[in-house]
Amino acid sequence: MGEPLRPVWAEVNLGNFKKNLEVVRQLVSPRAEILAVVKADAYGIGAVAASSAALQVPGVKGLAVATPEEAVELREAGLDCMILVLGPVTSRAARVLAELGVSMTVTSADGLRDAEQAGMTAGKASKVHIKVDTGMGRIGFRPGTELRQALELVSQLGNIEVEGLFSHFALAVQDPEYTRFQLQNFETARKQVAEAGIRPRFIHMANSAAILGLPEAYFDLVRPGAIIYGLYPSQSLADRAKLYPVVSLKARISHVKRVEPGTRIGYAMTYTVSEPAEIATLPLGYADGYPRPLSNKASVLVRGKRCPVAGRICMDQMMVDLKGQPGVKPGEVATLIGTDGEETISLHEVAELAGTIEHEILTGLGSRVPRVYIE
């Protein structure tokens, strides 16, 4: 596509996305294969484009999503690889997933029965991954009685293929003692499954943090999410691997005006100009996913220089103080996230200033912001 009618866009570097997957492959190969996590529209960059790119990387076995609808979108796009829905599904969703050959998570006895019925309807075994709650406290069977009862039920049901057994870390590497506790619980679950005569094809627990800092959790499949989008799950892990930025946010300046000292800018007049200045307006705001808490805090790059956000970020527009840069005109590019010249505004910086995490910034970029793909 050409440049959007409203000159605001997110630039998605699929080349860097694939480089990050290659980083994961180098860390986990040959022990484990990769299940690329593309939930939430691939963290906001576009699930179909990201998934297609991911499957070009050696070692990527398949894709993980959060909802049935996300899986259906990928199948309808022609992707016939392994796809796992990580969240619990309804009986209706189970029927759709079984028909499409999508693997589903089971977290309850009812979920197992729904999967069996879905397999009967589809005329082929439902592929299920048994979720174990090892200490996250969210979903899954707890090791011991709950899991034993589930495995007994599996032995009584037909039309089910137990393709996987998995769990999820609450903290991964930030709390070594609790991480060991979760790993021990998972080992207990693995033994229970083996004693029940079930041999899942895939055992998986490692998320992004565990991939960077906990090799004993690799098993035979890993689930990288944040790191393939260039995000460190914790800055304490930044020295474990070099990641590459995937997303930049850019806009063209829509208006420039010269103002005198004492001029107040924006809603509630929270920014006052102390010297003659030029104020540039950008045609995006918090409705596009640029957080309002960045008002009077963040900077934007214009001609490779940092320019502070001036006043409150509006729903559809925002202002920046050009800080003495002469001759800036409407149509010039402003970089809100990314690199211009020798200066960079990272997702981490933006998230910290907004009081949130990088994942929320990425997934919050709205549908009004077109994604422009580059290699």
User: What pairing do the DSSP bridges indicate for beta strands 247-252 and 8-13?
Assistant: antiparallel
User: The domain 14-231 is classified under which CATH number: 1.20.1250.20, 3.20.20.10, 3.40.50.300, 3.30.750.200?
Assistant: 3.20.20.10
Bridge partners (DSSP) of residue 35 are 62
Residue 1 has what pLDDT? 55
Distance CA 87, CA 205 (A): 15
Give the residue ranges of the chain where pLDDT is below 50. none
Domain covering 247-374 in this structure, CATH number = 2.40.37.10
Residue among 294, 305, 372, 310 nearest 333 (CA):
305
Phi and psi dihedrals of 197, rounded to 5?
80, 20
Residue 21 has what pLDDT? 99
Q: In what order do the strands lie in the sheet with 318-321?
A: 255-259, 277-282, 318-321
170-188 pLDDT per residue, tens: 987 778 899 999 999 999 9
Residue 192 has what pLDDT? 98
Residue 156 has what pLDDT? 96
- On the 0-12 / 13-18 / 19+ scale of CB atoms within 10 A, 205 is buried
Dihedral, CA of residue 84, residue 187, residue 212 and residue 354, to nearest 10? 70
Domains 14-231 and 247-374 in one fold: no
Give me the active site residues, please: 39, 267
77-119 pLDDT per residue, tens: 999 999 999 999 999 999 999 999 999 999 999 999 999 999 9
3-state helix, strand, coil in the chain (%, to 5): 35, 25, 40
Sequence-ordered strand ranges (E) for the chain: 8-13, 33-37, 60-65, 82-88, 103-106, 126-131, 160-166, 202-204, 221-222, 247-252, 255-259, 264-265, 271-272, 277-282, 299-302, 305-308, 318-321, 333-340, 343-345, 371-374
The residue ranges of every structural domain in the chain are 14-231, 247-374
